[in-house]
Amino acid sequence: AGLGKGSRFYGYLPMSTHVVMDVESASEHGFVASRPQLPADRMVYNQYSITRHDPLYISRETENHMMLFRPLFLTSYFLDDYVVIGHGGYGARTVIITSASSKTSFGLAYMLQMRLDYKTIGLTSKRNTGFVESLKLYDRVVSYDDVGSLDKGEAVVIVDMAGNRVLNDTLRRHYLGKCKQVVGVGLSHWTQSHFVKKATKKEDAKGENLAPMHTFFAPGWIKRRKKDADRAQVWEKMRTVWANMMQTAPSWIPITEHHGVQAVREVYQAMAKGS
């Protein structure tokens, strides 16, 4: 089926030199791995595309940034589609994005930047403010400590990558009557999440008049959009956006390659320590 020796594939692979996989089905475009332990709506994680037929494959030179950004690009792309096309921005034209230093966040900011009628505000820690500002993707970057400085008179939709329940409640109270929706996406502040620690009845009572919250699930929205839109047009638009993004991405995050088990261990430990 065209899966010969020397073929290059894009997909979720372990950090190793070799892997043995059970193939459920294959074609000239790639193959689907058999992982019966995964739910059916996680099929995207089982798909491996052969690069010569992959519409999002650009070149060998861009592979590093492709590996870094593509797993979250689809989430950013369809999150933009979900908020803007699917829900009309919930009636707001200002999008507040938490965990603004995350790749999904600034991928979304990149999409929204191309929509001239939307403004983005990126929220991040003081330590990451300089980095987020250097991306030049947000109209304004604000640290979590300074959310009180935000204009509470404008209508906003909050796209929450942090999952921080205290931050969400603070923002919803700050924008009381003006926050149209909180779209939950990530859990970068997972220990403070609404999804990890449920609100008490007292907290629910306090939040009765606050903006509604719900969770965005990319595979589910992608499945729906496949029914709503022409597949070829969706992929063509996505490829154009992706190709442009791959020209810009190296200026956001430079990549240094490391090889070998010891190097992997050292890089992982440094990352875990936040250094």
End-to-end CA distance of the chain, in Å?
Answer: 45
pLDDT value of position 17: 85
pLDDT value of position 43: 79
Helix (H) or strand (E) holding 113: helix 103-113
The per-residue pLDDT for range 73-89, each reduced to its tens digit, is 989 999 999 999 999 99
pLDDT value of position 6: 87
Sign of CA dihedral 76, 183, 154, 98: negative
Q: What is the mean pLDDT of residues 189-194?
A: 44
List 160's β-bridge partners, or say none.
Answer: 184
**Among 56-60, 90-94, 99-103, 225-229, whose mean pLDDT is lowest?**
225-229
Contact 62, 244 (CB under 8 A): no
Q: State the pLDDT confidence band at 206, using cuts at 50, 70 and 90.
A: low
From CA 155, how far away is CA 153, in angstroms rounded? 7
pLDDT value of position 55: 87
From CA 46, how far away is CA 142, in angstroms rounded? 38
From CA 207, how far away is CA 130, in angstroms rounded? 33
